[in-house]
Amino acid sequence: MNLLITDVRPYGGDPVDVLVADGVVRSIGTGLTAPEGTEVLDARGAVLLPGFVDLHVHLREPGGEESETIETGSRAAALGGFTAVFAMPNTSPVADSDVVVEHVRRRAEEVGLVDVHPVGAVTVGLEGTQLAELGTMAASRAGVRMFSDDGRCVNDPLIMRRALEYASALDVVIAQHAEDHRLTGGAQAHEGAAAARLGLAGWPATAEETIVARDCALAREAGARLHVCHISSARTIDVLRAAKAQGVRVSAEVTPHHLLLTDSRLSSYDPVNKVNPPLRTAEDTRAMREALAEGVIDAVATDHAPHAAQYKDTEWQAAKPGMLGLQTALSVLVETMVEPGLLDWHGVARVLSERPAEIGNLPDQGRPIAEGEPATFALVDPDGVWTVRGAELASKAANTPYEGMRLPATVVATVLRGRITAQDGKVVQ
């Protein structure tokens, strides 16, 4: 099947036509004509970017199908411009064996809307005490290239050290949910003025900073690749900058919500704002934006965390942490980074596609837009404006913190290896 995309602007540049054959870009130019039978996608001046890659999503299957399934999560991903996602292992059963990661991979291939890369657990059952079979998962048909106990920190330094040593030997990456559980004690709000006023126990920023410092030291020793999930505190950025300057193989992600939202939202006690790590201060969001522009933070990852109403529409203490993210990621990035002039479209491609593909070791994603390269794209209308309605999102759950907000930029279409997976807000299956 051939595809001709007309009047599209690569990285926001001059309009061109892009002819795709067999999933690969055949030619780029103006006034291109296509052989009979070619599907034509009139892009009407949309910005053409490499397909987005999300290093951090929760698809909930197996075991949490009341909140999300691989199918509903894949639909949300395609609608959000994503062509690859990494699915976290905190499912039931936990993805700590070749059987579970292969099941996730196979189910995602049946759905076929987005490349789903299962993340393997670092420890058996996410219990933090016994290393999982990393080598078996890496060698499985799922080809696991990232391991994480996300939702929990690999808190024991000896277990983390061993995990990094294996990761170095296997050439995979350990993605750490950096939270010293001894320091947070299960608290669920940023330790600061807002939490104090509301009488909520505080999750101190130092619980993140100290784990990142420790893990950078361990990664250096092991010669391993460390990825830090959802950075939330300005102080963590200083640790990362120093480690990178010393040649530690460390990368980091920030979520859209930690770029935009602060703990000032906690005053409503609405658990839709409850997330781990917690929303922090305006100073922290400012520091996140600057570090992302500078490249100290490598990537934007959504931490898409759907929770069915019975887990979210309850009192603060009982509610589960997490927010939807896949369909709002681009818009929040445009609002926080593009409109203020901190990133141009090349920068968006870098943080939403190129760097995540490198970190996740995906050779056919995050590629330049050029002849001979995979036709894997997100097409974006930078002038589009939309109002977020949780009930209208493709996810099974509706826990978006952006309910009712008007956000800039819409996804016009998503293309995976030459096949349109979403167009004008609808999934193409």
Q: Which residues bind ligand DOR (CB under 6 A)?
A: 58, 90, 150-151, 177, 275-276, 303, 305, 320-322
Report how far residue 147's alpha carbon sits from residue 133's, in angstroms, rounded to the nearest whole number.
Answer: 11
Identity of the residue numbered 26: R
Residue 80 binding: pick among Zn ion, ligand DOR, none (C-beta 5-8 Å cut-off by kind): none
Report how far residue 366's alpha carbon sits from residue 132's, in angstroms, rounded to the nearest whole number.
Answer: 30
Least distance from ligand DOR to the Cβ atom of residue 56, Å? 9
Q: Which of 150, 209, 253, 354 is in the footprint of Zn ion by CB under 5 A?
A: 150
303 is catalytic: yes
Identity of the residue numbered 240: L
Region at 320 (left for phi over 0; alpha for psi -120 to 50; beta for the rest): beta
Is there binding between residue 350 and Zn ion (CB under 5 A)? no
Least distance from ligand DOR to the Cβ atom of residue 80, Å? 18
CA angle, 323 then 282 then 342, to 5°: 85
60 is known to lie in a ligand binding site: yes
Neighbouring residues of 169: CB distance < 8 A, sequence distance ≥ 6: none
Q: Which stretch binds Zn ion (CB under 5 A): 111-119, 175-183, 281-289, 320-328?
A: 175-183
Least distance from ligand DOR to the Cβ atom of residue 325, Å? 10
CA 153 to chain centre: 18
Report how far residue 303's alpha carbon sits from residue 288's, in angstroms, rounded to the nearest whole number.
Answer: 16
Q: Which of 145, 162, 177, 257 is in the footprint of Zn ion by CB under 5 A?
A: 177
Q: Which of 156, 303, 364, 424 is catalytic?
A: 303
Residue 206 to residues 202, 209, 218, 275, 398: CA-CA distances in angstroms? 11, 5, 18, 17, 32
399 is known to lie in a ligand binding site: no
b/e string for 293-325 if b means 16 or more Cβ within 10 A? beebbbbbbbbbbbbbeebbeeebeebbbbbbb
Query: With respect to ligand DOR, which residue has the nearer C-beta, 177 or 289?
Result: 177
Residue 58 binding: pick among ligand DOR, Zn ion, none (C-beta 5-8 Å cut-off by kind): ligand DOR
Neighbouring residues of 180: CB distance < 8 A, sequence distance ≥ 6: 153, 155, 206, 207, 208, 210, 211
Is there binding between residue 191 and Zn ion (CB under 5 A)? no
Q: Which stretch binds Zn ion (CB under 5 A): 142-150, 200-208, 335-343, 408-416?
A: 142-150
Q: Which stretch binds Zn ion (CB under 5 A): 18-26, 176-184, 261-269, 332-340?
A: 176-184
Binding-site residues sit at 56, 58-60, 90, 150, 177, 230, 276, 303, 307, 321-322
Residues involved in catalysis: 303
Query: What is the contact surface with Zn ion in residues (CB under 5 A)?
Result: 150, 177, 229
